Amino acid sequence: MSSRDEERRHVRYAYHADMEYMLKPSAADEILKGAVVNLSDSGMSLFIAKPLAIGQEITVRTNLPNRAQTAVVRWIKHVGGCYKIGAACNNLE
């Protein structure tokens, strides 16, 4: 088990789905697209086209099983021609 796995509050499961998100705060309501690769009650991992900063908050516009409305970027890796991020979910119902 990696140290990142030990830091997680909930077990992540493979979950593959397209998703939409918006930067928060944002002057423009630009809808961005990504793909979820795993998901838990408290976080998710995404593939996205443009890098985000650690600490950046996003608004999740896709209905995910964990009911997250917003998430905060915790880590980012450049993978091939895209970026993989880990995000902690906020505003869970």
Tell me the CATH number at 58. Answer: 2.40.10.220
Residue 1: what pLDDT?
A: 40
- Alpha-carbon distance of 67 to 16, in angstroms, equals 16
Q: Which residues of the chain have pLDDT under 50?
A: 1-3, 5-6, 93
Residue 76: what pLDDT?
A: 98
- Any idea what the Cα angle at residue 81 is, between residues 76 and 3, rounded to 5°? 30
Could you tell me the maximum CA-CA distance found in the chain, to the nearest angstrom? 41
Task: Look up the domain containing 58 and give its range.
Answer: 3-90
pTM over 0.75: yes
Q: How many domains does the chain fold into?
A: 1
Residue bearing tokens 């650690």 = 54
